[in-house]
Structure 1
Amino acid sequence: MPDNYATHKTPAVRTWIVAHPRFHLRFTPTGSSWPNLVERWFAELTNTQIRRGVHKSVQTLEKDIRDWIATWNTGPRPYAWAKTADEILERLAGYEQDS
């Protein structure tokens, strides 16, 4: 998953960051597992609501998205991790040995 790292280094962004010292950029490593779950949630929103809907205005689209989120929140389903932390760490150790 690209994090648009290059966009964070533009002169406009650097100027804004300098002017707002309480904000700090943090970069998520490519391939981190939790962003994949966030992407999965947005994919579900896109596939079940946005692509299947007819949105004649931005306001209609926004209302449909908010309605979908409200419905989702009445019975959210957690995403299940496919591997344990130990399995993930074991696999990472294998990559480090190959380097």
Structure 2
Amino acid sequence: MHFTPTYSSWINQFERLFAEVTRDLLQRSDSRSVEALEKDLRNWIAAWNKNPKSFIWTKTAGQISSPSDDY
């Protein structure tokens, strides 16, 4: 059995995607309803999927601190 901590790399990938959504869409959004926000998000996803970009790690494993190091 192998223990996988909650801050493992697959979660980092989701966090990175949400960071892109926040930077590209949510910070600039002026949605006046949930329906408008959903439409904007679906359009953003469609545009992202037309020209997907790989996330490239710029740090080595040794350079990445665990969450407990931040406290």
Residue of structure 2 equivalent to 1:51: 27
Q: SS of the residue aligned with 1:78?
A: coil
TM-score with structure 1 setting the length: 0.52
Q: SS of the residue aligned with 2:28?
A: coil
| Paired residue total | 60
Spell out structure 1 runs of 4+ moving beyond 2 A: none
Return 5+ residue gaps in structure 1 as ranges. 1-27, 92-99
Asked whether 1:30 is paired with 2:12, we answer: no
State the distance in 1 between where 2:56 and 2:30 align: 32
Query: Match for 2:34: what amino acid?
Result: V
- Aligned with 1:73 (options 12, 28, 49): 49
Aligned-pair identity (%): 49
Return 5+ residue gaps in structure 2 as ranges. 63-71
The Cα offsets for residues 11-57 of structure 1, whole Å up to 9 and x where unpaired, read as xxxxxxxxxxxxxxxxx522201211111111110121112110111
TM-score with structure 2 setting the length: 0.70
Q: CA RMSD in A?
A: 2.2
- Aligned with 2:18 (options 26, 42, 65): 42
The Cα offsets for residues 47-69 of structure 1, whole Å up to 9 and x where unpaired, read as 21112110111100000000000
Give the greater-gyration-radius structure (CA): 1
- The one of the two structures with greater contact order (alpha-carbon pairs below 8 A, sep at least 6) is 2
